[in-house]
Amino acid sequence: MAEITMRLPVARKAVAPSAPRGGEKHLVAPGDTITTDTGYMRGHGTYVDEEKLIASVAGAVERVNKLVCVKALKTRYNGEVGDIVVGRITEVQQKRWKVETNSRLDSVLLLSSVNLPGGELRRRSAEDELAMRDYLQEGDLISAEVQSVFSDGAVSLHTRSLKYGKLGQGVLVQVSPSLVKRQKTHFHDLPCGASVILGNNGFIWIYPTPEQKDEEAGGFTTNLEPVPLSDREVISRLRNCIVALVTQKLMLFDTSILYCYEASLPHQIKDILKPEVMEEIVLETRQKLLDLEG
Q: Output DSSP code: residue 289.
A: H
Q: Give the residue, chosen from 20, 22, 39, 139, that forms a contact with another protein under the rule CB under 8 A.
A: 139
Of the pair 37, 233, the CB lying nearest another protein is at 233
Q: Is 7 in the site for another protein (CB under 8 A)?
A: yes
Q: Is 91 in the site for another protein (CB under 8 A)?
A: no
Q: Give the residue, chosen from 224, 265, 291, 293, that forms a contact with another protein under the rule CB under 8 A.
A: 224
Q: Give the residue, chosen from 96, 98, 186, 239, that forms a contact with another protein under the rule CB under 8 A.
A: 239
Distance CA 180, CA 176 (A): 8
Binding mask 29-68 for another protein (x = CB under 8 A): ----------------------------------------
Q: In the complex, what is the shortest distance from the CB of residue 13 to another protein, in angstroms, rounded to a whole number?
A: 10
The answer to whether the CB of 73 falls within 8 A of the CB of 38 is no
Taking residue 61's Cβ as centre, other Cβ atoms within 10 Å add up to 20
Q: Is 122 in the site for another protein (CB under 8 A)?
A: no
Window 173 to 202, contacts with another protein (CB under 8 A): none
Q: Give the residue, chosen from 149, 154, 172, 217, that forms a contact with another protein under the rule CB under 8 A.
A: 172
Q: In the complex, what is the shortest distance from the CB of residue 26 to another protein, in angstroms, rounded to a whole number?
A: 25
To 10 degrees, what angle do helices 229-247 and 254-264 make?
Answer: 110
Distance CA 200, CA 251 (A): 12
Of the pair 10, 64, the CB lying nearest another protein is at 10
Which residues, in sequence order, are CB contacts of 99 under 8 Å at separation 6+?
87, 88, 89, 90, 106, 107, 108, 109, 142, 144, 157
Phi-psi region of 193 (alpha: psi -120 to 50; beta: other; left: phi over 0): left
Of the pair 8, 29, the CB lying nearest another protein is at 8
Q: Is 274 in the site for another protein (CB under 8 A)?
A: yes
> Binding residues for another protein, how many (CB under 8 A)?
42
Q: Is 211 in the site for another protein (CB under 8 A)?
A: no
Distance CA 281, CA 204 (A): 20
What Cα–Cα distance (Å) separates residue 31 from each residue in 48, 60, 128, 178? 11, 13, 52, 21
Which residues, in sequence order, are CB contacts of 46 under 8 Å at separation 6+?
34, 53, 54, 55, 56, 68, 69, 70
| Site of interaction with another protein (CB under 8 A) | 1-12, 88, 90, 138-141, 167-172, 222, 224, 226-227, 229, 232-233, 236-237, 239-240, 268-270, 272-275
